[in-house]
Amino acid sequence: MDKAEEHILARIKKSLDASQIPEREEFIKAILETEKIFIYGVGRSGLVAKAFAIRLVQLGLKVFFIGETITPIVEPDDLVVIVSNTGQTMSALQTANIVRRVGAKVIAITSKEYSKLAHAASIVMHLNVESDEKDKEHSPLGTIFEDTALIFLDGIISDLVKKMGATESQMRSRHSIWV
């Protein structure tokens, strides 16, 4: 295996082990108790957020990605999940503040536990991603956060599959099919 791959895998494992997120069950409960779920993120964090949104749709949940032209407005009691490494991205902060004022629950997935986004959130999923010197060489910018967030959110999907009693065939029936 390449040194970069070894480094990235080791950092993800270290980050997930360090995170031990006690709010995990609260996050899952919020998803299960909500009628509509809105997801948001920009850049590579946005790609991770979209991957999570796709899996939620495959579970049969009503999910929208904020910023898409067909996304309805957020209403009270909706759930908004925002993925942002720094928790300082302006559009993520604006989204959190607006939807919170509407009465929606905001869940922040971030590496910065005390960021402005975390402050605006109802629940903070803090992924303990601390940079080290080798990150600059093997995993530039937000690579470790993004990869850790993807794996963390895939773990949430696994928990939801069990709690909802979903099957692979049910999920596959909601998978995109190109004719």
Catalytic member of 5, 6, 137, 146: 146
What residue type is assigned to position 109 of the chain?
Answer: I
Handedness of CA 58, 14, 16, 109 (dihedral sign): negative
For the entire predicted model, the pTM comes to 0.90
Looking from the CA of 169 toward its CB, the CA atoms found within 13 Å total: 0
Extract the tokens encoding 81. 């999940």
| CA distance linking residue 82 with residue 122, whole number of Å | 11
Residue 130 falls in the annotated catalytic set: no
* pLDDT per 10-residue tile (average), the chain, 179 residues: 77 77 88 97 95 94 94 95 95 96 96 93 90 59 84 94 84 66
One DSSP character per residue, 65-79 reads: ETTSTT-----TT-E
Query: What domains, with CATH codes, occur in the chain?
Result: 3-165 (3.40.50.10490)
